[in-house]
Structure 1
Amino acid sequence: MAIIQRSICSIILLVVFATVHAQQAIINTVGKDPFVGKTTEVVFKAKEGIWTFHGFNNAVIKTTYKPYDYSKTEQVSDAVIAKPPVVNTKITNAISQTVEWENLTSVVVQRDKLYYKTGKEVKVKSATYFTQGDTRGFRFQLFDNEQIFGGGERALPMNRRGYRLNLYNSSSYGYGLGAENLNFSVPVFISSAGYALFFDNPSKGYVDIGLTDKNILEAGFTSGELTYYVVFGKNLDEILNNYTAITGRQPLPPRWVFGNFVSRFGYQSEEQVKQVVGKMKQDRFPMDALVFDLFWFGDNIKGTLGNLDWVNTQKWPNAKQMLTDLKTNNNLKSVLITEPYILQNTKTYTEATPFMATGADGSPMMIPDLYFGTGGLIDIFRKQSQDWIWKYYKKQIVTNGVNGWWLDLAEPEKHPAGMMHNLKDYGVNRPMAADEVHNVYAHYFSKMFFEKYLYEQGDQRLVLLNRSGFAGSQRYAILPWTGDVARSWSGLKSQPLVLLGMSLSGLPYIHSDAGGFAAAEQADPELYTRWLQFAAFTPVFRPHGTALEDYDKSVKSIPSEPCFVEEPYKSIVRKYINLRYQLLPYNYSLVYDQAVLGKPLMRPLYYYNFADSVALKADEEFMWGDGLLVAPVISQGATARMMYLPAGKWYSLTNNSVTDGGKFINQPADIKQIPVFVKEGSFVPMWITKDTIKSTETYNSKDVTIRYYPSANATTYVWYDDDGTTPRTLEKADYELVTFKGVTAGNKVAIDITTNNPNQYGKKFKRKFNIELPVGIAAGQALVNGKPVDAANGGKQTDPFQQLSNDFITVEFTGKPLNVVITTGK
């Protein structure tokens, strides 16, 4: 069918503006007097539809087009929480019409095209509307060298130009490198030209990024409000800050989320759980959570979804006591899996049918081809459905003390096009078909969990793993994972790309089933080791894979837990798990940067600098926070890693050697190590203890080692600390920010330490900082506020897991500013 290109010719300009006392509407005919004033929105009436623009204070422009011949304009995404402000606006009429907001962003309407600018620079050129058959959407002309990132989970190169990506959340069992469409198809795309496009439409669609026409990005949808946001920023940091300002940021997780999750598919009895936990303790692996897969509510893989309780009292004789013992004796929190399907003949099926999604006739629709059995899908968009299923979750939380949840299959994995959903509770007065709401199904499930958990358990932070979602799902505290990735080298190679793509899509706690999930013919300890080395520097550390030989003899059982790996791999993995725990003060501080500034925990090397053309191609490396550069080893049999170091000096985390950046290096990387470098000037707070680390419960944030990596450039680092459990600590200002400023001149290292919360210090509260340098400290040559440090106060601190022996001095911090001057050398 011919494509109909819509025109914005012959327009009438309508400006809706606010005065101090009331809102008024002024209608200007094109070419008449310009407008200057405070507005909430600017509307252009065209021959075939209406364009509406909103300017936000944080360099964001919202654009909506409503064709006169289009009726499915409901907005059900829930992605954006920011309301358009009343802002100073200037509209000029010449050959084209220009709308400029007070933050110097503007949109130029010129015949049938839109141009978006910051200042005088055009960032987005030639944006147009199109319709083709049942698809409606927008086209944008791309610059010649423009790169496009984001789009959610894609096992593709970070630059997605040259691909056509489905916007339809999909599961993909056993995928590897090259999988284009996975569980999160988040419609936000970031350009190296300094802007992002966010298509706020959750219906089934696609984005063609230069595949059909190398110079065109085309986004098409089958239903829903036709809205997109242009988000400006000079780098990824600014763009994500502005994007998350309108879609929300992740609430703080509990500190134990940064520990080791013990998990497999799946534990089949209390006795088996005790055996695994005992073996993990015997082999000295720290751990913080234990995940129960679907056997907690049934004896089989199939036919049990919907029982929602511990139905086998022989295998689980006393669930409450078991979970209590795990927590009391081992500091292990419990996480239970759940799914949105209720199968026939399960414990709750009859009770659940009124709350299921329906067919066109209004009766519950059964799904016959679901892998786990025939059943229905909870219509999570109905408040009654939410209340019904929540009572089962609440029982496990209140009665049995469950600490976290794991929502699986919520894309939904099977979602027939003829299935209908009721969204009257959200203001939609017609049934909505599956394809119209598919991409926000999991989002609304997370929303329900978050709101009800916060209401019921107001003293605890929610832990919710969810395999799917939409833009804005981060607001509901989800810990997404990358689905059923293959236990293969291709599976491992895909993960840095998938995790970084999600990080740039506003979902910062993305992680993988470390070691790989999908069934393999035999164990590969080298693959397992390399995967866990990588996972140690990702938001959640959760080894998880299939071990189902008891149920299916054709499937090899390969345990996910590191205690079952042979030597020397076991010791290597233990070292990296312990390193993750040692980095707990550094890792936990990253949550503040996300919650306040929208920074992802994992960041590509070009996060602050699009101009580094080499970094733009270094897809398989990443920054963990601002300080650590990680180069995972993802090739079988590798003993070295060719990698790129950006400009500046870089210290090896494991041996303190210094390397100049701005070049490629071939770094040794035998099976015992992966390259991890620290950027000069970085402060890295660590938990260094001679005791065996068992869990995050024994962590004491009042006694922390601060590693400073000297630089001639002055640097500042802000360390965040709170109690690690209480919700809304940011809103209550119940936290501390300790600021470290450092600079090196010759052999003199100067460090200043201050706090935003000095009033909490006193007789019962003070901190001890062990300031550690990767260079020698001259004996007796350290001053604190101008006074010499006691010669006995310092020496060498040996890291038992990294085998480093660094010089350090200890300072007592009582809330008053400290100036520490250290002379290096011997």
Structure 2
Amino acid sequence: MKNILYILLCFIQFGYTQNPDRVYKSHSEENNIFTVVTNDGNYRFQFYSDDIVETTFIPKAESSTLESHAVVMKPNQVKTAYKYVGNTISFSSNALSVLINTVPFQISYAYNDKLITSERRGYYKSSHEPMEMVAGNIVADDTEKIEFNLTKDEVLYGAGARALGMNRRGYRLPLFNRAHYGYETKSELMNYTMPIVLSSKKYMIHFDNAPIGYLDFDSKKDNTLTYETISGRKTYQVIAGNSWYDIIENYTDLTGKQPMLPRWALGNFSSRFGYHSQKETLETINKFKEDKIPVDAIILDLYWFGKEIKGTMGNLKFDRDSFPNPKQMIKDLKSQNVETILITEPFILTTSNRWEEAVEKKVLAKDSIGNPAKYDFYFGNTGIVDIYKKEGYKWFSDIYKDLSDYGVTGFWGDLGEPEVHPTWVQHATGSADEVHNIYGHDWAKLVYKASLEANPNKRPFILMRAGYSGSQRYGMIPWSGDVNRTWGGLQSQPEIALQMGMQGLAYMHSDLGGFAGANLDDELYARWLQYGVFQPIFRPHAQEEVPSEPVFRSEKAKRFAKYAIEMRYRMLPYNYHLMAQNHIEGTPLMRPLFFEEIDNPNLFNYSKAYLWGNDFLVSPVLEAGKTEQEIYFPKTSNWFNIETDEIIKGGQTKTVKLHPAYIPTYVRAGAFIPLAKSMQSTKAYNVNIFQLQHYYDDSIKKSEREFYFDDGHTVNPIEKSQYQILAFESEKKGGWLHINFEAETAANYKAESKTIEFVVHNLNKKPKKVLVDRKEVTGKYNSKYKTLTLDISWDTTNKKRIKVKL
């Protein structure tokens, strides 16, 4: 406490005092809510856990708005401590402290006795300063603001998906979900915004309010962070942790964990804008089969319900001229292990077959006098489904259930910003401005629930480009919108995915190859798909003028694409474990390198390389014609080149040569990497047969890894105890390398024997002796690659012990 008081004193001396007109009156605690009364309103503080505290300011003459669209965690009975010494009140958990200086008034937050952030003016109201980019979208005379202090060296992340480089400091960014067609290296406003700020000082602030507004990341360069909104709650949560992983786990505890996706979601998708007919759909998949390129799903764009782009949106029924027997088509695809995913939109055009039905059943949002709201946009004259109205929710939900009865196993929700959403439109729960940023979020909830009601034993697949804080809990898989099909478009993708993973949306991905523009650049296409191997969802997609599917590209592009796709499928057991880890802990699949070196400021803006899971270091090739590129290798490990087994010492920046068939990929020394046998579909994957690569290195004395397995489709398998975890350990003792296999099998999962091709890397000489369960075996030593290969049969009800004499 002594240190905290000293820090507070320093803040006050340097002029970081709060609103000088705010005067402390009194304080009290009741039912674990700590209340501070001031002359212009009340502060309420409540801990959700030792690492999360919520702050709400309720101005005089206003009442508390309790509903949160983001938070699902219930406040725990956190043990708190209260002190009042001199002018300072503290309300603390075991780790996080709220500090209230009474004169002059000041709210600050400390974590483990270290100041992390403080309010500057805190809450205040002032004139709205409109931004040209959202003129007509964010309209208000005054806006409500919450203002914080920043230190000079803080790097800031957050605000959802943007293409701005990793550091968002210096920008004032609208919180208004809106598509940006054909963006490249810079986009200040995109489909998916969130009221979230993360700081390089290892804390997060989540502004828990749905209506539109802004986040100002010190645009005036006066060390100020400002949240700004047209209306709503004056509530935010401060989330802290000892590591970035802790912070994200705490945040996803607060807003919800991503459910397990179906295993096929980690496979390759056939997707374009779009397939015009049943015949074309089936022929496309047949081409994949002929070329022996793995594929797990096909996505049908808007031609499934109409022959034309314009005028048909809202039909949401198969056009029987083009798709004469959709049930048979879906059945035929299923017989080839291919899932069917359909696009849907929330817009019902006045020219669509369902307009009269939608009006009659009162499912549409209204205008100011209570009629169905109608307005024009690119696709025609339209209304929008009011999912906040019970009639609209049920009607839309029933459509998804009916389509599920056809055998559809995934849904694509497009234009869910919503793309056009005039401020005068009224929903059952409020104006367009109040629900705009949560529409996609609540739509995902509708689709998620409808999917489970239709198929209680199948994990939903929901692809959407707009949502809100916490949308991950509804299984949402976001993508980065209509990116330009250029090198500039590719260059922004890693940072977008990395940032969204830090904000809880771990499955952010891009249209591989790029969407907008008729660019047939084979090198760009290959490099984008090679990056796609190490992004969460592998889904090439493009406008109609350009084939997105490798089967319709040049032989050279097809060859490179096939190599990338086959690598993606071989990594299925490793990637599936990342899915489970994300579900359990909220951990992103793609991770920036400052997660690894948390106190290295040189990495705070770095996205040229990143971690895929814990053990892969990946550096995408983002420029044309490159033959080499610089990569930073984290100092926490040595790194094996996955193709050559060259070992690179960590803690250095090194120039590496590039290969046209793959991007630079390295494996952490000491890692165990499970790889699947080649397959044409994830349905052909056998969890009991795999290759296990162990990257032995003298620098690692002991190494442990575990990998999660289940059947790939059961809903809530962990809660149902239908899973198995395989644990692998290696330790060097004297002149021996000891390797142990052990399994944890849940109560309702059948333990089966595994057939494992076990490969140990970096053995400079042929081992003198190899023992498997105390029996001497020969194994195969490759002197060129310095690897030892053992064929292991493992009954997972028992431990397996291997000893290698070095």
TM over 0.5: yes
1:420 aligns with 2:422: no
Contact 2:50 2:95 in 1 (8 A): no
1:118 aligns with 2:111: yes
Which residue number in structure 1 is paired with residue 761 of structure 2? 774
Matches within 5 A, 1:789-808: 789=777, 791=778, 806-808=787-789
The CA deviation at 1:680 is 0.9
CA distance in 1, matches of 2:23, 2:704: 53
Which residue number in structure 1 is paired with residue 52 of structure 2? 60
CA distance in 2, matches of 1:53, 1:378: 37
The CA deviation at 1:567 is 2.9
1:199 aligns with 2:198: no
Deviations 1:686-732 (A, max 9, x none): 0134xxx2111111011111111113242221100000001010111
Range that drifts further, 160-169 or 252-261 = 160-169
Contact 1:650 1:679 in 2 (8 A): yes
Secondary structure of residue in 2 paired with 1:251: coil
CA distance in 1, matches of 2:776, 2:467: 56
1:669 aligns with 2:658: yes
CA distance in 2, matches of 1:759, 1:153: 41
CA distance in 2, matches of 1:298, 1:74: 44
1:389 aligns with 2:376: no
CA distance in 2, matches of 1:592, 1:208: 35
Secondary structure of residue in 2 paired with 1:749: strand
The CA deviation at 1:213 is 2.9
Paired amino acid for 2:34: V
Contact 1:586 1:685 in 2 (8 A): yes
Give the alignment partner of residue 82 of structure 2, picking from 85, 88, 91. Answer: 91
Give the alignment partner of residue 14 of structure 1, picking from 23, 28, 33. Answer: 28
CA distance in 1, matches of 2:776, 2:50: 48
CA distance in 2, matches of 1:200, 1:563: 46
- Structure 1 residues 797 and 572, CA, compared in 2 at 3 Å: closer, same or farther? farther
1:142 aligns with 2:150: yes
- Structure 1 residues 190 and 758, CA, compared in 2 at 3 Å: closer, same or farther? closer
CA distance in 2, matches of 1:415, 1:725: 37
Secondary structure of residue in 2 paired with 1:455: helix
Paired amino acid for 1:42: F
Deviations 1:461-518 (A, max 9, x none): 0000011100110000011111101001110001011111111110011111000001
CA distance in 1, matches of 2:169, 2:189: 15
CA distance in 1, matches of 2:33, 2:557: 61
Consecutive unaligned residues in structure 1, runs of 5 or more: 18-39, 424-431, 548-556, 799-803
- Structure 1 residues 132 and 16, CA, compared in 2 at 3 Å: closer, same or farther? same
Which residue number in structure 2 is paired with residue 349 of structure 1? 355
CA RMSD of aligned residues (A): 2.0
Which residue number in structure 1 is paired with residue 5 of structure 2? none
Secondary structure of residue in 1 paired with 2:253: helix
CA distance in 2, matches of 1:6, 1:587: 53
Paired amino acid for 1:102: S
Give the alignment partner of residue 496 of structure 2, picking from 466, 476, 498. Answer: 498
Contact 2:762 2:786 in 1 (8 A): no
Which residue number in structure 2 is paired with residue 656 of structure 1? 645
Contact 1:167 1:185 in 2 (8 A): yes
The CA deviation at 1:77 is 4.3
Which residue number in structure 2 is paired with residue 45 of structure 1? 37
Matches within 5 A, 1:433-444: 433-444=431-442
CA distance in 1, matches of 2:610, 2:21: 44
Which residue number in structure 2 is paired with residue 102 of structure 1? 93
Normalising by the residue count of structure 2, what TM-score does the alignment of the two structures yield?
0.92
Which residue number in structure 2 is paired with residue 359 of structure 1? 367
Matches within 5 A, 1:750-789: 750-757=738-745, 765-776=752-763, 778=766, 781-789=769-777
Give the alignment partner of residue 628 of structure 1, picking from 616, 629, 633. Answer: 616
Which residue number in structure 1 is paired with residue 125 of structure 2? 131
Equivalenced residues, count = 765
The CA deviation at 1:746 is 7.4
CA distance in 2, matches of 1:116, 1:438: 31
Which residue number in structure 1 is paired with residue 11 of structure 2? none
Which residue number in structure 1 is paired with residue 792 of structure 2? 811
Give the alignment partner of residue 527 of structure 1, picking from 517, 524, 528. Answer: 524
Which residue number in structure 2 is paired with residue 29 of structure 1? none
Deviations 1:25-60 (A, max 9, x none): xxxxxxxxxxxxxxx210111111110001122401
CA distance in 2, matches of 1:422, 1:365: 13
- Structure 1 residues 58 and 245, CA, compared in 2 at 3 Å: closer, same or farther? farther
Contact 2:126 2:143 in 1 (8 A): yes
Which residue number in structure 1 is paired with residue 315 of structure 2? 307
Deviations 1:794-826 (A, max 9, x none): 56699xxxxx895311222222122222245xx
Contact 2:82 2:89 in 1 (8 A): yes
Which residue number in structure 2 is paired with residue 481 of structure 1? 479
Contact 1:155 1:177 in 2 (8 A): yes
Range that drifts further, 653-662 or 407-416 = 653-662
The CA deviation at 1:192 is 1.1
Which residue number in structure 1 is paired with residue 453 of structure 2? 455
Which residue number in structure 1 is paired with residue 804 of structure 2? 822
- Structure 1 residues 636 and 765, CA, compared in 2 at 3 Å: closer, same or farther? same
Deviations 1:541-599 (A, max 9, x none): 0000001xxxxxxxxx1100011221322211111110000000000011111111110
1:710 aligns with 2:696: yes
CA distance in 2, matches of 1:796, 1:449: 52
Secondary structure of residue in 2 paired with 1:322: helix
Secondary structure of residue in 1 paired with 2:555: coil
1:247 aligns with 2:255: yes
Which residue number in structure 2 is paired with residue 719 of structure 1? 707
CA distance in 1, matches of 2:782, 2:66: 61
Paired amino acid for 1:47: N
Contact 1:688 1:705 in 2 (8 A): yes
Matches within 5 A, 1:554-633: 557-633=545-621
- Structure 1 residues 794 and 55, CA, compared in 2 at 3 Å: closer, same or farther? same
CA distance in 1, matches of 2:702, 2:589: 23
CA distance in 2, matches of 1:142, 1:88: 29
Range that drifts further, 627-636 or 671-680 = 671-680
- Structure 1 residues 747 and 495, CA, compared in 2 at 3 Å: closer, same or farther? farther
CA distance in 2, matches of 1:773, 1:809: 8
The CA deviation at 1:101 is 3.0
CA distance in 2, matches of 1:70, 1:761: 54
Secondary structure of residue in 1 paired with 2:640: strand
The CA deviation at 1:345 is 2.0
Secondary structure of residue in 2 paired with 1:409: coil
The CA deviation at 1:130 is 2.1
Normalising by the residue count of structure 1, what TM-score does the alignment of the two structures yield?
0.90
